[in-house]
Every structure is written in C-alpha cells, then in structure tokens.
Structure 1
Amino acid sequence: MVAQSTSTETQDWVSRYADDVIAESERRAPGKPVVVASGLSPSGPIHLGNLREVMTPHLVADEIRRRGHQVRHLISWDDYDRYRKVPAGVEGVDESWAEHIGKPLTSVPAPAGSAYPNWAEHFKAAMAEALAELGVEFDGISQTEQYTSGAYREQILHAMRNRAEIDAVLGQYRTKKAPAKKSQKPVDEAELEAAEGSGAATEDDGSGGSAGYFPYKPYCGRCEKDLTTVVSYDDETTELSYTCTACGFAETVRLSEFNRGKLVWKVDWPMRWAREGVIFEPSGVDHSSPGSSFQVGGQIVGIFGGEQPIGPMYAFVGISGMAKMSSSKGGVPTPADALEIMEPQLLRWLYARRRPNQSFKIAFDQEIQRLYDEWDKLAGKVADGSALPADAAAYARATGTAAGELPRTPRPLPYRTLASVADITAGHADQALRILSDLDPAAPLTSLDEARPRLDKAEAWINKHVPAEQRTVVRDEPDTELLKSLDDQARDSIRLLLEGLDSHWSLDGLTHLVYGVPKVQAGFSADATPKELPPEIKVAQRTFFALLYHLLVGRDTGPRLPTLLLAVGADRVRTLLGA
C-alpha cells in the first residue's frame, strides 16, 4: 500500500491528483463513486502512446481505491467513430478496405483471418487482453451500443434544440489557426501521439451546411457512411432530413426514434462528461491545444448541465529500437508488443514514474537492458529502505494495485544475463538451465520456471528485436591461426584464465577472474580496486576481452564474458582457447 503523505513536496504526482480528484468529487457528487475516464478509438492497433490515456487515470483511480473510496474507471470504446483510413502494415488488410471509409468502425470487416466479428472488436480485444495483464480494472462502454440503443437520445435532442448556442461556442475558434502538426521522426525514434486514442481530434464540428448548423451526423441508410448532410430539422416533430453525397440516398427520419448516427466529436465528448459525471480525464497534446476538443468542451459541457473534468495534458511516448518492427507492423508498437519483451511491472513503472506532461521512451533495443538494471536497482533500494519516497511510491504502483500484487518472477535474475543465455542457447532449455544453475552455485536454479516470465520476455527480445548479425554464435572449432599468432603476453593471459576456471566457476567468480587476469599480469592483486590501478589496466582489460571474444565467438564483442563462459562450458572453453 502507498501511504498518503501529508506534505505535497514529498508526494508523487499520482497522490497529488488523487487529492484533487477526491476533493472535487466530494464537491460535485458527495457520497457517490469517483468517476475517472479514458477514451480509445479502435481504428487500428491501439499503441503505446494511447496506453497513456488509460494508465494516467488508472494510476489515479488505484490510489483512490487504496484510500478506501469507491471509484469507477470508464473506458469509452469509440467504436462508433467513422473509419478514416486503411492503416499501414496490418496483417490481413489490403487496399480493398478503403471501400469502407466513412462507415462506423463496428461496420467494417475485421482483418482477414480474425476471430472477431468486425474491425473494432478485433483491435479492442488485443488492448483488453494487455490491460488485463497490466492489472487495469475498468468498465468498458461501447459507443456503438450506446448510440444504436438510443441511450443518448435525450442528449441528442437536447443538443439539437441548443444548436445555436453550441454553434456560437464553436464559432469562436473556427477562424483561429490550428496548431502546427508535430513533425514525424524516423520510426527508430518514433513518438506515438496519444491524442488519437480519445475520440476523433480531426472530425468536423458539424458546420458548413447550407441549412445551418447541426451537431448531429447520421450514417447513411443505404451505404452506412457518414458522408451525409442534414438539410432540415424540425424541433417540434424531431423530423430530420438528410442526403448522402456518397451514394445519393436521401430520407426523412424522426430523431426521437432514429438511432443510426452520432453527435459530432466536439459535442459528443462534453455530453459524455456531463452524463457520466466524469471528475478526471486526461487528454493528449492535440486535444489540449488552444481551440481543441478539451478547451471547447469545457464551454459546451455546461449546456448539458455538467462540468469539465480535471484534465491534465499528457506528453508523447517515445519509442527506441523499432526499426525491425516497423517493416512488418507499420511502425505502431502496441502494449502487447511491449509485454512480449517486458514484465507488466516494468511497463507500469515507465508510466508511473513520470508526470503526465513529461515525455519518455519505451525501449525495444539494447536500452531495455539498462532499464531493467535500473528497475532491479530500485527494487533493491525499496527492499533495504533507501529509496526516495516518490521512487518507492512509483515502485509500489508498478508492482501491484489496490487488489493485490501482480504475479512476479520468483527468481528475478538480471535481464541482460537472461538475454545473453537465451541468445547463446538458441532455445535449448536444458542448456539454459545448466548455465543459469551455475550462476550461483550456493543457491542453484532448479527449474526454468523460477526465472519465468522474465526469461521468456528476454528470449522474445533476443528473437524478435536483436538483428541476426548481432546474435552470438559460438565457434565450432578453435581459431588455430589466431592462436598461433599470439605473443607471450596474450598466451600468458589465456593460461591464467584457464588455470582459474574451475575454482571461479560461478557468475561472480568468473567476473572476478576475467577482470583480474590483466591486473595480475601487471603485477597487482586480482582484488585491487580501480582507485589502486593505473589507467593502463583498463586498456589491457579491453584488449584481453576482445581476444577472448574473437577466440570464442569470432568477433570483438558479445554477451558479458562471465555469462558467455558459463554458457560455453568449461570443457569447450578449454578447447577453443587452445588448451
């Protein structure tokens, strides 16, 4: 549990927002559950930028639950949005899907081979599965179900009756220049714009018709597309006439009975705030800029009798190391992609430790090893009580929720070690268990299950994100030419290593040995610290390491040498080093 701090200076960002949200909820709706909200549009793969739309309110909601309050986290699936374009790189999808542009997402066929009935359900399912693994509790609301069931009928009729007032609010911003679009970076340094995750930032606001302003857009009764124009509306009878520019269809319906259409986005969003009593909902950069949905919604929500939520703007999520994935998936990494290579706790921590307005990167390249080192170091500090309060709070939010701890790896061995073992053993479980058991002879691993799921994540990273030319292949035969060319000092360094293998056969022991050989050759103790050694020793160590890599794997770099030696095995090391 994360204790509530009495000092704002020592609170993390989650606690501060929880304070504000609880106070605001008690003012607006005393005695009722606190309502926080997110919105996701399943218009394609829901990416790691969109995940910030969910994780920000989730973390705040969870803190409120920890304090004993009832809270609902609503996720509006904006599956009644129009299908705008065919996303690149989605398996089972080709340009023939362009014929569905303009239809509701739930009326578009799912990608070929999908087990789901339509486009929206296909992409919702993957996100829901990832959220379950991340420990995110939520109440899902399908906007298709809401609109087609008539749940919003009164709100729609109210908006139409008050369309002049809504038009006046929107009119204040129509002549203002839109904020400049953020330039796209190369995919290897991609920034995922989470604004797309909540509703439709670029949707028209219902203006431009010759018959006047209407905040409602029907889907065509013939082609199902939203390329329609309202030509008349009668407030008394609620008769609405429209024409479709796509297929020429026209009809007159009673809006008091008609359920095949929706409010335009800049009206739809504040309507939901009022109807659901939302106290907290963040928004991406595009929704938070001047004249955008969040700002305009703050003025329109009053027309529906509600108030604007507390709504922090959240920054972009950067991605590093996505070059390989981009070729097959269109450069859109999803939470499921991240959870293939990292435990849920680490992914939760990346979102919990940074304030919403701070951008951060999620690593799919070598940087993931450093992130894991940082995470394990924090775990150690939390265990011994030396972690700073905000860091300890972020760790607690990452490892569990108000409902309990997330499942964790029983023996969380270093990720970089597991990755090296997965690289060297190429999927051979018996070989992996042998190596991992040798890491700590005093407490050997008895089953690979003790190292899972972290081991599986590291193996997936090696197999999917490390280029083939960077994979480790141990030599089959000694490099006799290189061995013959060695000078006396190089031969002596190999002799010292081989003589110490058996007595140092553990991860710590081999680390001491490989770093100690150059020290001993220079006349120092193997236990000498860097402060006791001249700078030349570091050069000698690098030279020695490069020699071992060449003799073992045929190049000058590779996995950490102690791990590599354990993986190769003492007998094979002796053979490859010419013993």
Structure 2
Amino acid sequence: MAAARAREATQQGEADWVARLADEVVAEADRRRAAAGQDRPIVCASGLSPSGPIHLGNLREVMVPHLVADEIARRGRAVEHLISWDDYDRFRKVPAGVPGVDASWAEHIGKPLTSVPAPAGSPHANWAEHFKAAMVDALNELGVRFRGISQTQMYTSGAYRDEVLHAMARRADIDAVLDRYRTKKKTSAPPAGTSRPALDAESAAASDLAEEGSGAAQEDDGTTGGGYFPFKPYSLAFGTDETRVLSYDDDTTELTYVATGPGGEQVTESMRLDSDFRGKLVWKVDWPMRWAREGVDFEPSGVDHQSPGSSFVVGGQLVEEIFGGRQPIGPMYAFVGISGMAKMSSSRGGVPTPGDALRVMEAPLLRWLYVRRRPNQSFTVALDAEIQRLYDEWDALGRKVGTQAAQPGDLAAHARSVRTASEDLPLTPRPVPFRAIASVVDITGADEEQSLRILRTVDPHVETLDDVRPRFDRAVEWIDTYVPDEDRIRVRAEPDVDALDALSADDRAALDLLLDHLEDDWSLDGLTTLVYGVPKLRAGLPVDEKKLPPEVKAAQRSLFALLYRLLIGSDTGPRIPTLLLCIGPERVRPLLGRG
C-alpha cells in the first residue's frame, strides 16, 4: 500500500507546491547528510506558543511542514515532524474573550505559560496545557502526526544546559551578529543569499499587522545597560522575567540580575547556569539553537519572522556562526483570514480555532483549504454563509477525481486532503450538498426523523443519517453557531392572505401552473426542473431549453422572489427546490393559495 501511494504521489503531484518543496527538502537534506557522513531522518518542524487560543492562522505553521513531511513519507523516506511547544515563553497579556478568564490573570504576566493557572473550570494543569490540548485534539482529527517537544521540560530539566552555556560564552559574537541588523530598517533589502516570496495584495496589507503574531520577532534580543546577555532568567522572588542581567562569570557560570516585582520593588538575585535552570535563551538565539540541536531541515515561518533583522534572517547567521548548524529551508507563509474579519490574532480573543472549524467542516475539507494555496498566498476560511460555496467546490473536486476532467494538481490536492501516508480520513459516504442539508436542518429544527425523510428525496441512496455523517452533524453545528437568528428559515404558519389577494394575473397563473405539476416528480431534480421550467412553459419554450431570452430569465427571478415571500416571508432563502422539499406538498399548497 505504501508503494502504491508513493507511485500515486509521483504520478499525480509532480506539479503541486507540496511536491516541489519536498523535492527541495529531500535534495538539501541528502546533500547535508552526505557531507556530514550521517544517516538520520529528515526533520520538518513547527513551533506553536499556547499563549491563548491557537487559531486558524497558526494552523498554517503546522500544515505546511505536515504536508511536506507527509509527501516525503509517501516516497518511503524516513521523516519526522516536530512541533516545539513554546510553553516556556512569558505570559504577555490576558487575551480577550476566553471563557473562565478575567482581569485577575494580569497578575501572572511575565511568568512562564506553564506557571499560569488554566482558565477557571479547565481540567488541565496550567494555561499552556489547556490551550495545547485543544490543538492536539484538532491535529489528531486532521491526521497530523508529530512529536511534541515541551520547551518548559527541555529548559527546566537542563536538557539545554550545554547550549545555554555555549551561548553565554559566545555572547560577544552573538551581539556582533545582532548588531549587523539593529540599524537596518524594515524596508531594507534582505541580506545576500536570502529570498522572500512575493506577497499578494491581501498578504501585503496584512503584513502591517505582523507585530500581532507570536510577538517573538519583536522580543528583547538580550541587550541590557550592562552589556549583552542572551539568557533571560525567571526570578525566584516573583516568578517572572521582569529581570535585568547585571553580570556573568564565565568560570563559575554565576549570573547576577535584578528582579522587579509588580509594585516596582527590586531584589538582586543570582543563579548558576550549570545547575539552575530558571530561564531561557532570548528568542533570536533560542530558535537557531534548536535548529542546530534538532537538525531541522525544513521550517516555514510567517511574515513577522522574515523581515530584515528579525528572527529567521538573524537566526540564519547565528545557527552557522555560533551553533555550527545549518539554517533550514524556510519559506514564508502568508496570513489566513476569516470571512468578515481582519487578520486573526489570538491576543484579541474570540478568533476561530481549528477545533471551531472542525465542528462545521469535515476534516478533509479543512485540510484542502491549506493544500490548495501556495504558502505565500493568503486565503480565507469561511465560517459564514460562504461555507456553503466551499462545500460546493469541494464536492465538485470530488466528482472530478477519476474522470478525464481532473488535472494533476486537482488529483494531488484531493489525495493530500483525504489521506495521509499512513491513514485515510473519514469522508461522508453520501455527500449530499451541504447547503441542502443545512436548509433541511434549519427548517426541521434538526429533527432526525424528518431530516432523514427529506434527505431521502434529495438522494434516494441515503438509507440512514449515518450515510450523510459527519456532514449532517457539521450542518447542525453551523446552523446553531454561525447563522444569525434573523437569517434562520421560518416557514409561515398561515398563508399570507393579503399577498395572495394582491397577486397579478401573471403571478397567479405561474403559481397555478407550478401547483398543477407539484407532485409530478417530488424529488430534488424534479422540483428543480419544475420551478425553472414554469417560466419557460409560459413563454412557449420546452422545459429543457438552455438558451433563454432575458425576459424568461427575469420571469424566473420574479417567480423565485414570489415563492420566498409567500413561503417564508423573505426576499431570499435556500434554493427553492430544497425549500419545497423541506416544507412538503401538504404545507406548500395552502401557502400558495390552494387549500
């Protein structure tokens, strides 16, 4: 099976961006291993900070390495996807809109994320574990398999002891590298030998908000009034990183610093870096240290990390000059938006997470959104009414697969969405259009018996609701969560007598013709033919006529608007055939004036 999937990936995915990146990563990894005389797995890496809800923008940090690693695995190569949980980062601010969190959490600002209490009512041990758990659940559902590395565990266990001591011993050299960039403006050109993919207009505009990303690219780089020190301690007295290093003794590894408390009080403390592990390297040094230690071959990053003088660019110098490693291949990825919202930021609160999306999207559909766009292209995840169009596009792609209409890129994108190198993702057996299911759910109040009866008329092959799951459950959640009350479908309880009495002769004749044939073919296809065909018949055209004069198209629009007003008291609504199916002929007839 693995060999077959490897051939499938080769045949179908030669031109897609995932395959091209995998080609580049494999070639560079092989070159590096041959030069070093090594034989070890290729390493793709991601980094996530559980400082709050991990949103759909952060998911791109994981999906790009996952897709590349998965492609490498399909080729039968040993590969590992690492996710570094930056849970030893400082708690920067209290995010808005998090249930169980109030202003009192501000007293924990400056502490490691794993030292901050979890939101009230959480079953998890601390803040970081609370938000990490939700992301892990979502990644499992998406088929993302990885090895997680807790930075709290690594630092506090002393695993990074040698790297920390090495960075402190080479602090003057690190300072010199950083100094090359301190006077550079953000608008300056990237250093020689680096490249940055062009952004589209949406991403370019979003880059102005880059500082609201992880914030790591804007961190203190270790400079103090008393010199340069790449290590930031967490104090004993207050537990925060409100500290300023005064001195460091290379022989004894004793670090002396001033810690500032919440009321401005100060204490002087010291620690030995060879045996005390309360603190971490500043981000611009920490990241390249990890590249060297883990042997990372591929790790993309956002715009905020790739501007001149920020983390990825500086890290490329430090990893080679200080830590003796190599910078990974690291394309820049653009921002992910949400329908009707600006670029997402977890600091704002209330932003959708992968778990939120998976409650209304099938996992393969969500994967597809990240597969079909190159990393440097921004895109929007639609959780509003546009989600119906996304499902339509996804279903259209599914129908293409196995036909001559499918292009290699289509086949590769679909294959990467529905399966990984090791498993198939669950798909709805009978993919009835999402918009039809949503309309049925809305009108029936998600009553399962009524919904099944109606869905059987939409697709005669549907025998039980399990045939339309998980899509049915996603539609129920979408209606309940994302459809405003004013947009819900409310079928009239009684006919609109005044509107019926005011009908023109043409409108009455159109309704009578529709009612005369209402139950000729009580199916979605039959009703579709009927409602589109009534204006054709009245114009003397056959119901299967495709080339319609403007007046017939106008008559169709007029009939649809009339039906919406008489059936649900609105000018718009779900597709008329679906609406008729959901209401049923017994209720439709009196509402259209024929009791």
TM-score, structure 1 normalization: 0.94
**Residues 321 and 364 in structure 1, CA contact (< 8 A), matched pair in contact too:** no
Matched, 1:557 2:561: no
> What is the alpha-carbon distance in structure 2 between the residues aligned to residue 208 and residue 408 of structure 1?
56
> What is the alpha-carbon distance in structure 2 between the residues aligned to residue 329 and residue 538 of structure 1?
46
Matched, 1:72 2:80: yes
Secondary structure of residue in 2 paired with 1:405: coil
**Equivalent residue, structure 2, for 1:504:** 521
1:125 corresponds, among 118, 121, 133, to: 133
Aligned residue type for 2:30: E
> What is the alpha-carbon distance in structure 2 between the residues aligned to residue 577 and residue 394 of structure 1?
46
> What is the alpha-carbon distance in structure 2 between the residues aligned to residue 218 and residue 236 of structure 1?
19
1:104-183 → structure 2 map (5 Å cutoff): 104-178=112-186
**Residues 218 and 226 in structure 1, CA contact (< 8 A), matched pair in contact too:** yes
> What is the alpha-carbon distance in structure 2 between the residues aligned to residue 162 and residue 535 of structure 1?
77
Secondary structure of residue in 1 paired with 2:80: strand
Residues 470 and 7 from structure 1, CA distance in 2 versus in 1: closer, same or farther, beyond 3 angstroms?
closer
Question: Structure 1 stretch 22-31 or stretch 568-577: which is displaced more?
Answer: 22-31
Question: Percent identity, aligned pairs only?
Answer: 66
Once the two structures are TM-superposed, the CA of residue 568 in structure 1 deviates from its matched residue by 0.4
Once the two structures are TM-superposed, the CA of residue 448 in structure 1 deviates from its matched residue by 1.0
Aligned residue type for 2:575: R
**Residues 178 and 314 in structure 2, CA contact (< 8 A), matched pair in contact too:** yes
> What is the alpha-carbon distance in structure 1 between the residues aligned to residue 271 and residue 502 of structure 2?
90
Question: Structure 1 stretch 115-124 or stretch 191-200: which is displaced more?
Answer: 191-200
Secondary structure of residue in 2 paired with 1:383: coil
**Equivalent residue, structure 2, for 1:454:** 471
Secondary structure of residue in 2 paired with 1:504: coil
**Equivalent residue, structure 2, for 1:393:** 412
**Residues 143 and 423 in structure 2, CA contact (< 8 A), matched pair in contact too:** no
Aligned residue type for 1:343: E
Question: Structure 1 stretch 313-322 or stretch 147-156: which is displaced more?
Answer: 313-322
Matched, 1:281 2:289: no
**Equivalent residue, structure 2, for 1:255:** 273
2:222 corresponds, among 202, 206, 228, to: 206
Aligned residue type for 2:239: E
Which segments of 5 or more consecutive residues in structure 1 lack a partner in the other structure?
Answer: none
Question: Structure 1 stretch 463-472 or stretch 283-292: which is displaced more?
Answer: 463-472
Secondary structure of residue in 2 paired with 1:173: helix
Once the two structures are TM-superposed, the CA of residue 113 in structure 1 deviates from its matched residue by 1.0
**Residues 49 and 85 in structure 2, CA contact (< 8 A), matched pair in contact too:** yes
Once the two structures are TM-superposed, the CA of residue 383 in structure 1 deviates from its matched residue by 2.6
> What is the alpha-carbon distance in structure 2 between the residues aligned to residue 507 and residue 424 of structure 1?
16
Once the two structures are TM-superposed, the CA of residue 545 in structure 1 deviates from its matched residue by 1.0
Matched, 1:471 2:475: no
Residues 193 and 26 from structure 1, CA distance in 2 versus in 1: closer, same or farther, beyond 3 angstroms?
farther
2:362 corresponds, among 343, 348, 355, to: 343
1:570 corresponds, among 577, 585, 595, to: 585
1:291 corresponds, among 302, 309, 324, to: 309
> What is the alpha-carbon distance in structure 1 between the residues aligned to residue 96 and residue 224 of structure 2?
31
Residues 542 and 41 from structure 1, CA distance in 2 versus in 1: closer, same or farther, beyond 3 angstroms?
same
Deviations 1:203-246 (A, max 9, x none): 10000232x11100110011110011111111111111111022
> What is the alpha-carbon distance in structure 2 between the residues aligned to residue 18 and residue 196 of structure 1?
30
1:172-571 → structure 2 map (5 Å cutoff): 172-178=180-186, 200-210=216-226, 212-246=227-261, 247-302=265-320, 303-321=322-340, 330-440=349-459, 443-529=460-546, 531=547, 533-571=548-586
Once the two structures are TM-superposed, the CA of residue 535 in structure 1 deviates from its matched residue by 0.9
Secondary structure of residue in 2 paired with 1:172: helix
**Residues 195 and 283 in structure 1, CA contact (< 8 A), matched pair in contact too:** no
Matched, 1:98 2:106: yes
Question: Structure 1 stretch 328-337 or stretch 561-570: which is displaced more?
Answer: 328-337
Once the two structures are TM-superposed, the CA of residue 404 in structure 1 deviates from its matched residue by 2.0
Which segments of 5 or more consecutive residues in structure 2 lack a partner in the other structure?
Answer: 189-200
> What is the alpha-carbon distance in structure 2 between the residues aligned to residue 360 and residue 516 of structure 1?
38
**Residues 9 and 412 in structure 2, CA contact (< 8 A), matched pair in contact too:** no
**Equivalent residue, structure 2, for 1:57:** 65
Residues 365 and 244 from structure 1, CA distance in 2 versus in 1: closer, same or farther, beyond 3 angstroms?
same
**Residues 191 and 318 in structure 1, CA contact (< 8 A), matched pair in contact too:** no
> What is the alpha-carbon distance in structure 1 between the residues aligned to residue 140 and residue 14 of structure 2?
31
**Equivalent residue, structure 2, for 1:18:** 22
**Residues 13 and 19 in structure 2, CA contact (< 8 A), matched pair in contact too:** no
Aligned residue type for 1:542: R
Once the two structures are TM-superposed, the CA of residue 4 in structure 1 deviates from its matched residue by 7.2
Aligned residue type for 1:497: L
Secondary structure of residue in 2 paired with 1:252: strand
Secondary structure of residue in 1 paired with 2:246: strand
Deviations 1:391-425 (A, max 9, x none): 21011101110012101111111111111111111
Question: Structure 1 stretch 39-48 or stretch 237-246: which is displaced more?
Answer: 237-246
Secondary structure of residue in 1 paired with 2:220: coil
Secondary structure of residue in 2 paired with 1:146: helix
Aligned residue type for 2:511: I
TM-score, structure 2 normalization: 0.91
1:81-92 → structure 2 map (5 Å cutoff): 81-92=89-100
Secondary structure of residue in 1 paired with 2:223: coil
**Residues 567 and 591 in structure 2, CA contact (< 8 A), matched pair in contact too:** yes
**Residues 41 and 199 in structure 1, CA contact (< 8 A), matched pair in contact too:** no
Aligned residue type for 1:339: L
Residues 397 and 12 from structure 1, CA distance in 2 versus in 1: closer, same or farther, beyond 3 angstroms?
same
Secondary structure of residue in 1 paired with 2:271: strand
Residues 487 and 517 from structure 1, CA distance in 2 versus in 1: closer, same or farther, beyond 3 angstroms?
same
**Residues 88 and 329 in structure 1, CA contact (< 8 A), matched pair in contact too:** yes
Secondary structure of residue in 2 paired with 1:19: helix
Once the two structures are TM-superposed, the CA of residue 550 in structure 1 deviates from its matched residue by 1.1
> What is the alpha-carbon distance in structure 2 between the residues aligned to residue 144 and residue 194 of structure 1?
26
Aligned residue type for 1:152: Y
> What is the alpha-carbon distance in structure 2 between the residues aligned to residue 304 and residue 8 of structure 1?
40
Once the two structures are TM-superposed, the CA of residue 503 in structure 1 deviates from its matched residue by 1.4
**Equivalent residue, structure 1, for 2:193:** none
Deviations 1:331-369 (A, max 9, x none): 421111111111111110111111111111111122111
Secondary structure of residue in 2 paired with 1:475: coil
Aligned residue type for 2:85: W
Aligned residue pairs total 567
Secondary structure of residue in 1 paired with 2:381: strand
Question: Structure 1 stretch 381-390 or stretch 297-306: which is displaced more?
Answer: 381-390
> What is the alpha-carbon distance in structure 2 between the residues aligned to residue 537 and residue 407 of structure 1?
44
Once the two structures are TM-superposed, the CA of residue 197 in structure 1 deviates from its matched residue by 6.5
**Residues 36 and 280 in structure 1, CA contact (< 8 A), matched pair in contact too:** yes
Secondary structure of residue in 1 paired with 2:46: strand
**Residues 206 and 335 in structure 2, CA contact (< 8 A), matched pair in contact too:** no
> What is the alpha-carbon distance in structure 1 between the residues aligned to residue 289 and residue 14 of structure 2?
37
